[in-house]
Amino acid sequence: MGIKFLEVIKPFCAVLPEIQKPERKIQFREKVLWTAITLFIFLVCCQIPLFGIMSSDSADPFYWMRVILASNRGTLMELGISPIVTSGLIMQLLAGAKIIEVGDTPKDRALFNGAQKLFGMIITIGQAIVYVMTGMYGDPAEMGYYNSGTEFEGAVIALFHLLATRTDKVRALREAFYRQNLPNLMNLIATVFVFAVVIYFQGFRVDLPIKSARYRGQYSSYPIKLFYTSNIPIILQSALVSNLYVISQMLSVRFSGNFLVNLLGQWADVSGGGPARSYPVGGLCYYLSPPESMGAIFEDPVHVIVYIIFMLGSCAFFSKTWIEVSGSSAKDVAKQLKEQQMVMRGHRDTSMVHELNRYIPTAAAFGGLCIGALSVLADFLGAIGSGTGILLAVTIIYQYFEIFVKEQAEVGGVGALFF
């Protein structure tokens, strides 16, 4: 029996910030405007430094989480979206596992959303306290000043700069394409290539024919995409590994030299190629991390094999598990279609679950496997932002593209969306 958790947080919902549901249909151009303004504010906050802290030259212990959680070290967006993402994932898992009861009524959904917000605020306060007290910004007793932040040099800019300043043009081109201390043109090309591959696979799907049980002649299709669970597998896998890294680094600082701690992970600071960061050089964390370079792939093939098996297996497992806890399994989809009075053509109402079971679990597991494989490919090619970051970026952009196409179809053309 689930716990009536939502009733406990009901008194707090009255004081939580909330956006009122619009009373009219929002035009697409208005959505684009407010989305752009929101992104601009977020980017500005990513550049405003926290007052009174030190931009430590030491390795960033949360380097592995920055891309996933849209955070920037030492700024107002230090925590990024981690509190709300963490609270949302935990609440969804608790609801999917029936540990807490969430009904289908609007009241229950509103309470559930309120619980996510409240939990997110609690996580924010907790993370902020932990960041400060553990010396994330230096010794709390010595805070009160900061150094200049990280500076970046683009790969394309470096190409023209090197060609203009170097007398040996061949060597200049080689450095622009293959330099190791900063992103190079090969990294940029690999990033574009992985973007294209992910977008190509986004279009893979199976359309199951369905029809209305109420209105004769009304036919449609239910699409089951290859990436059935979208980017959820890579998010869960990254969250698992990132938290394992953080725990390992904390234990390494406190109990350096301990056998069990070293078995979990041994760390070394790396300062080249961007901001300083800690990188695993031994233990379990080392084998769960991608190789640092193409040369490392051939130097330690066991590391590569273990990493590939872990990435593919964990993504497939998380994808298969997610459909069960998030309400998107064959049984749940059949229930939704039945509520909409839709049935699969050529199949009786009672056999719909069996037919969906032929596709959905396979699409979830194989889609998760492909997500993991694409992430591994991006890491091996040296794509900028890591394979996980690229997959998240592409899947999110593609979702907005689908919204754009849907809005365009509803209003009848691109011109009507903006003018």
Q: What is the pLDDT of residues 193-218, one digit of tens each?
A: 888 888 888 878 888 888 877 777 77
What angle (nearest 5°) sits at the alpha carbon of residue 95, between those of residues 6 and 88? Answer: 85
What distance lies between CA 261 and its chain's CA centroid?
A: 28
CA end-to-end span of the chain: 53
Report the pLDDT value the prediction gives residue 181, as an integer from 0 to 100: 66
Q: Is the pLDDT of residue 272 over 80?
A: no
Question: Could you give phi then psi for residue 32, rounded to 5 degrees?
Answer: -60, -40
Higher pLDDT, 146 or 293: 293
CATH of segment(s) 184-413: 1.10.3370.10
Query: pLDDT tens-digit profile of 292-318?
Result: 766 777 888 899 999 999 999 999 998
C-beta of residue 123 within 8 angstroms of C-beta of residue 87 = yes
The domain locations on the chain are 5-143, 154-182, 184-413
Task: Give the closest residue to 149 by CA, choosing from 235, 199, 74.
Answer: 74
Other C-beta atoms lying within 10 Å of the C-beta of residue 241: 20
pLDDT digits over 342-356, tens only? 878 777 766 788 888
Contact yes or no for 345/213 (Cβ under 8 A):
no
Rounded CA-CA distance 115/320 in Å is 26
> Angle CA(6)–CA(12)–CA(17) in degrees, nearest 5?
110
Q: Taking a C-beta distance cutoff of 8 angstroms, is the pair 66, 238 a contact? A: no
DSSP category for residue 213? S
Side-chain-side CA neighbours of residue 166 (13 Å): 15
Give mean pLDDT, residues 228-235.
83
Residue 223's DSSP bridge partners are 207
Residues above pLDDT 90, as percent of the chain: 3
Measure Cα distances from 211 to 206, 225, 340 in Å.
16, 19, 10
- The model's pTM is 0.65
pLDDT tens per residue across span 45-85:
887 777 666 555 556 666 666 767 778 777 888 888 888 87
Residue among 226, 287, 242 at smallest CA distance from 89: 242
- Residue 171, pLDDT score: 85
Token pair listed for 152: 């970046």
Give dist(CA 278, CA 298) in Å, integer.
22
d(CA 404, CA 328): 24
* Pair 113, 29: CB distance under 8 Å: no
Specify the pLDDT at position 413: 58
